[in-house]
Amino acid sequence: MTDQATRAAFEAERNRTRGTAESTAPVILSIKDVSVQYKTPFGWMTAVRKSSMDIRRGEAVALIGESGSGKSTLGFALLRMLPRAARVNNGSAMFTDNEGKTYDLFSMSDKEFRDFRWSKCAMTFQAAQNVLNPVMRVSNIFYETAKAHGWNDRKAVREKTLDLFKKVQLDPRRVFDAYPHELSGGMRQRVSIALSLLLDPDLLILDEPTTALDIITQRAIIDVVKSLREQLDFTMIFISHDLSLAAELADRVATMYAGEIVEYGPVRDVFYEPEHPYTVGLLNAVPPITGEEFTPLVAIPGATPNLLSIPSGCPFHPRCPFATEICVNVNPPLEEVGGTHYVACHHHDQVTRDQEVWEGMEATVAAG
């Protein structure tokens, strides 16, 4: 997006949410202290740590953070699609469907979970356009997915699929009988989104739906997601590096750093009044999305930590201009700082976007 378009999108979002009451809808997903580890030749590596958040029905939550911060791993864990050499080693995830039935995601039997996945909670994967089975026609991918959930009425599946194709702005008849390789990347991404909605899930996790697409196609996919939400009213977790897309699409934002959710709250709080230094660092590193005048960009000093040897205390302390001794020794819990805004930082009330503070830290880290 251009800076101007980005700003306009953010302004629209701010106006949409300004003064509106927080959602009081029931919680659809409650994640508490979730940790996920991968087995490596050097031991278990913790990719998601003590992450907690509640998502209310109908909300769109953006999960943001640098590459490797654990966003996809959290999504995979929720859908129990982690690779074999990975485990959820702590925490719980409780899901309450639109009928009020609660599911304990990490304790359900495999059989129960097979019925649950895609019908209650679905996910489109990062680079989803490459994961459609290349030797199956699109129609068969949809028939097989429906059949796996006991839906054998091919006529009804066809009708539903064609309707979804219209909703994602695909030419239904052309795409239904095609093989994935006959479609462009953007068309395959739309097919993946339609597939994830085939069984009317209550919650959809979209993992970087626009990565690897050109800018025009990215815009079209975002417009499709917005229009789908208006028409189908599902809850959404939107995983993205792109803060402007998060601002445009989400009601709430969760910032992840080194596997932890370190800030979580309404878009307007997290982007206009960020209280975690890492969120501030992310905002300072991209063109303004909050409508203010352009200021020079400042990169977050240093690099993301090696997850096999996370810094003591607060994992962000080696890169943080506000760090003090307590930060080196004690990892702060995620705590409410007002309304439904949560931050994990000892000094959240002193945090500022002041460029000089950040430039000074950049110089300190560079000097070693």
Ligand X SMILES: Nc1ncnc2c1ncn2[C@@H]1O[C@H](COP(=O)(O)OP(=O)(O)OP(=O)(O)O)[C@@H](O)[C@H]1O
Interface residues toward ligand X, by CB under 6 A: 38, 47, 65, 67-73, 83, 126, 241, 307
Residue 241 binding target from Mg ion, ligand SF4, ligand X, none, CB below 5 to 8 Å by type: ligand X
- CA gap 59, 62 in Å, rounded: 10
What token pair was written down for 55?
A: 């998502």
Total residues in contact with Mg ion, by rule CB under 5 A = 2
Residue 320 binding target from Mg ion, ligand X, ligand SF4, none, CB below 5 to 8 Å by type: ligand SF4
Measured from the CB atom, the residue of 185 and 313 that comes closer to ligand SF4 is 313
Distances (CA, A) of 301 to 59, 148, 187, 309, 316: 33, 48, 38, 19, 11
Distances (CA, A) of 19 to 165, 282, 329: 36, 26, 39
What token pair was written down for 278?
A: 């890492």
Report strand pairing: 60-64 vs 27-40: unpaired
The least distance separating ligand SF4 from the CB of residue 289, rounded to whole angstroms, comes to: 21
The mark string for 112-141 relative to Mg ion (x by CB under 5 A, - otherwise) is --------------x---------------
List residues near ligand SF4 by CB under 6 A: 277, 314, 316-317, 320, 322-323, 327, 332, 345-347
Residue 47 binding target from Mg ion, ligand SF4, ligand X, none, CB below 5 to 8 Å by type: ligand X
Report strand pairing: 341-343 vs 27-40: unpaired
* Sheet strand arrangement including 43-56: 43-56, 27-40, 86-96, 102-104
Residue 170 binding target from ligand X, Mg ion, ligand SF4, none, CB below 5 to 8 Å by type: none
Of 2, 8, 1, 13, which is closest to residue 291 (Cα–Cα)?
8
Q: 261: buried, middle or exposed (CB in 10 Å: 19+, 13-18, 0-12)?
A: buried
Residue 50 binding target from ligand X, ligand SF4, Mg ion, none, CB below 5 to 8 Å by type: none
Identify the residue among 72, 129, 161, 290 touching Mg ion (CB under 5 A). Answer: 72
Of 314, 342, 202, 259, which is closest to residue 88 (Cα–Cα)?
259
Residue 346 binding target from ligand X, ligand SF4, Mg ion, none, CB below 5 to 8 Å by type: ligand SF4
The amino acid that residue 280 corresponds to is V
Q: Which stretch binds Mg ion (CB under 5 A): 69-77, 107-115, 160-168, 340-348?
A: 69-77
The least distance separating ligand SF4 from the CB of residue 125, rounded to whole angstroms, comes to: 31
Q: DSSP label at 7? A: H
Measured from the CB atom, the residue of 162 and 323 that comes closer to ligand SF4 is 323
Residue 70 binding target from ligand X, ligand SF4, Mg ion, none, CB below 5 to 8 Å by type: ligand X
Q: 264: buried, middle or exposed (CB in 10 Å: 19+, 13-18, 0-12)?
A: buried
52 binds Mg ion (CB under 5 A): no
What token pair was written down for 323?
A: 């760090």
- CA gap 191, 177 in Å, rounded: 12
The least distance separating ligand SF4 from the CB of residue 326, rounded to whole angstroms, comes to: 7
CA angle 78, 82, 85 (to 5 degrees): 145
The least distance separating ligand X from the CB of residue 76, rounded to whole angstroms, comes to: 7
Measured from the CB atom, the residue of 86 and 351 that comes closer to ligand X is 86
- CA gap 241, 63 in Å, rounded: 8
- CA gap 102, 252 in Å, rounded: 23
Measured from the CB atom, the residue of 8 and 357 that comes closer to ligand SF4 is 357
Measured from the CB atom, the residue of 45 and 199 that comes closer to ligand X is 45
The least distance separating Mg ion from the CB of residue 192, rounded to whole angstroms, comes to: 15
The least distance separating ligand SF4 from the CB of residue 255, rounded to whole angstroms, comes to: 11
Binding site residues, Mg ion, CB under 5 A: 72, 126
